[in-house]
């Protein structure tokens, strides 16, 4: 891979950052930051959306075991409603990077913008397919958020969160109309806001 503004020959503590859950109507936006160990490569890293659940779970365990440092953080539905989803995502990314037990020398963030960080950083569009550290972060964030949705499903089985993961699907809209929003729904998102205001 070509360098995207970083001298790989001189330094190796590269953190990758990604998020999961900007689009759903319910639950946290979850972010992760990962610094991989060049001495302990991990086969099969890819954009989490292109992996099966079984592959993600296996890679999750391997990343936790082999990474030099990793951190998962989130922003709550209340923070999303207060700040908006973009700013809440940036906050969660900050939390993930600052939660690393090893300080990175450079940070790659999936997408087209970076949160404010005390380290040199660079946004990378489609980074989860291009940079293995971001791929690893995408897998951690996806697995953690999916587990949160499974736990929410067990509390509120009528909403089908285990299937649609909180995204605005017809089944989710139907459950919202029938049962109303739960505390974890994002009140600032239009489908939820419109339902509350009826």
* Full DSSP string of 144-186: HHHHHHHHHHHH-GGG-HHHHTT---HHHHHHHHHH---TTB-
**Predicted model pTM:** 0.92
The string of pLDDT tens digits covering residues 125-148 is 999 999 999 999 999 999 999 999
Whether residue 160 is predicted with pLDDT greater than 60 in this model: the reply is: yes
Tell me the CATH number of domain 14-197, given options 3.40.50.12640, 3.40.50.300, 3.40.50.720, 3.30.420.10: 3.30.420.10
């Amino acid at each position: 891979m070509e360098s995207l503004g970083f001298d790989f020959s001189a330094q190796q503590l590269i953190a990758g950052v990604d998020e999961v859950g900007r689009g759903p109507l319910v639950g946290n936006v979850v972010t992760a930051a990962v610094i991989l160990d060049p001495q302990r490569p991990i086969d099969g890293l890819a954009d989490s959306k292109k992996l099966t659940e079984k592959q993600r779970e296996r890679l999750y365990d391997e990343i936790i075991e082999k990474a030099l440092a990793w951190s998962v953080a989130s922003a709550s539905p209340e923070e999303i409603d207060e700040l908006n989803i973009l700013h809440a995502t940036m906050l969660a990314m900050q939390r993930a990077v600052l939660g690393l037990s090893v300080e990175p020398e450079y940070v790659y963030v999936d997408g087209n913008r970076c949160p404010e960080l005390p380290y040199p950083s660079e946004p990378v569009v489609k980074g989860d397919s291009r940079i293995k550290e971001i791929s690893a972060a995408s897998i951690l964030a996806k697995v953690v958020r999916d587990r949160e949705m499974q736990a929410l499903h067990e509390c509120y089985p009528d909403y089908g969160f285990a299937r649609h993961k909180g995204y605005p699907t017809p089944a989710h809209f139907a459950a919202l109309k029938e049962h109303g929003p739960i505390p974890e729904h994002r009140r600032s998102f239009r489908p939820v806001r419109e339902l509350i205001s009826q």
